[in-house]
């Protein structure tokens, strides 16, 4: 600022300028800030001498500088207030953006949670289905294994039966010679039929008044009419009618339950059917059907199972059940039977098996020996039906 001639004019001019600036600052702050700027009135005892002018200039200059510093502070306060407003606005914007981002993150988190829940549900369902499928496969494998073991057991039993039958046939062929006419055959049941032909059949001696029979014992090859005892030391007399039927059947032997041949029909009606008739009629018929199809098996039970009486399925009464019977292919459960029922069934099996051997041409003995063996087997069937347990040598 330059030196003026009139200090009063300068002071008034500066006061007016500062007043205007203070007014502008007050209006800019809108009442938030109180202006500390007050109109200043500078008074000075000016003197009009040369030294006084000089002092006035200095005083005026300092006053001006002081006033300019105050204005500068006020402008800095104004600028700071404006900066605070701008920083507050920016912080508000950042807060809004942060809230928006938080909302977006929450939505994403909810979506991820829903996806996780769905995946957990799917995993649980898959796990349950896998366990169920595994259980089904295990059950199927166990059933298959049990069926295989059962089939193996039945196959082994059949093999053993066939092997025993082969051995019996070999023995039958070897012992069926005239020099050694011993007979043996293996039945499907555990029974072993053995016979040594030591005697001959005997016909009843008739008086001279009796007419000569058209069919005599001579028709039986190798039969000695003077023989009087069988191989068991029992007297065996030949029924002429039965003898005639046997010789006719021996020419073309047929072992069928529906066979019309008189000899087999007689054995069926007199021996087989009565021996296979039990209190349980339904089961009796099943046994007869199993006999026709060769699908009956009998097994002995353990000693521990024989300690207490059970209900015999055939007799329908409590008995000590010593054996288990199976009919058909073995799919059904075993049927407990007593010793009496077992002897009756196996007796019929022995008789039928020997008749089938004759039908197949496996018995090479003469008619005398064959007839005697058939009669002996019929005797065993009758004894079993009557309850004689020790009659046969088992």
* Structure confidence at residue 190 (pLDDT): 36
Higher pLDDT, 310 or 73: 310
* Structure confidence at residue 365 (pLDDT): 82
pLDDT above 90 (res 92): no
* Structure confidence at residue 311 (pLDDT): 83
* Structure confidence at residue 90 (pLDDT): 84
* Structure confidence at residue 388 (pLDDT): 85
* Structure confidence at residue 345 (pLDDT): 92
How does the average pLDDT of the chain come out, rounded?
71
Higher pLDDT, 21 or 230: 21
pLDDT above 70 (res 20): no
pLDDT above 90 (res 217): no
pLDDT above 70 (res 368): yes
Determine the angle formed by the axes of helices 240-251 and 367-386, rounding to 10 degrees. 120
* Structure confidence at residue 77 (pLDDT): 56
Higher pLDDT, 268 or 330: 268
Q: How far is it, in rounded angstroms, from Cα 371 to Cα 373?
A: 5
């Amino acid at each position: 600022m330059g030196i003026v001639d009139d200090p009063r004019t300068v002071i008034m001019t500066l006061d007016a300028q500062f007043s205007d600036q203070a007014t502008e600052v007050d209006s800019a702050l809108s009442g938030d800030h109180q202006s500390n700027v007050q109109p200043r009135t500078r008074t000075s005892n000016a003197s009009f001498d040369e030294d006084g002018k000089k002092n006035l200039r200095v005083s005026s200059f300092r006053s001006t500088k002081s006033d300019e510093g105050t204005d500068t502070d006020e402008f800095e306060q104004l600028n700071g207030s404006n900066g605070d407003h701008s920083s507050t606005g920016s912080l508000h914007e950042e807060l809004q953006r942060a809230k928006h981002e938080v909302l977006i993150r929450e939505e994403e988190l909810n979506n991820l949670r829903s996806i996780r829940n769905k995946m957990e549900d799917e995993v649980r369902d898959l796990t349950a289905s896998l366990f169920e499928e595994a259980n089904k496969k295990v059950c199927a494998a166990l059933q298959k294994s049990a069926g295989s073991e059962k089939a193996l057991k039945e196959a082994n039993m059949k093999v053993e039966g066939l092997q025993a039958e082969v051995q019996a046939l070999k023995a039958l062929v070897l012992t069926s010679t005239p020099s050694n006419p011993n007979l043996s055959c293996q039945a499907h049941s555990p029974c072993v039929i053995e016979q040594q032909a030591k005697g001959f059949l005997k016909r009843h001696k008739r008086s001279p008044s009796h007419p000569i029979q058209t069919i005599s014992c001579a028709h039986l090859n190798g039969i000695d009419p003077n023989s009087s005892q069988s191989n068991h030391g029992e007297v065996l007399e030949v029924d002429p009618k039965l003898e005639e039927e046997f010789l006719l059947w021996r020419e073309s032997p047929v072992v069928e339950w529906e066979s019309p041949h008189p000899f087999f029909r007689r054995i069926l009606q007199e021996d087989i059917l009565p021996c296979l008739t039990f209190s349980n009629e339904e089961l009796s018929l099943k046994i007869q059907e199993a006999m026709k199809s060769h699908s009956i098996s009998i097994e002995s039970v353990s000693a521990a199972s024989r300690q207490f009486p059970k209900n015999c399925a055939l007799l329908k009464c409590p008995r000590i059940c010593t054996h288990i019977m199976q009919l058909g292919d073995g799919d059904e459960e075993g049927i407990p039977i007593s010793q009496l029922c077992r002897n009756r069934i196996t007796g019929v099996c022995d008789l039928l098996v020997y008749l089938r051997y004759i039908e197949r041409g496996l018995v090479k003995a003469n008619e005398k020996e064959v007839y005697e063996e058939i009669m002996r087997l019929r005797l065993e069937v009758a004894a079993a039906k009557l309850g004689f347990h020790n009659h046969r040598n088992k």
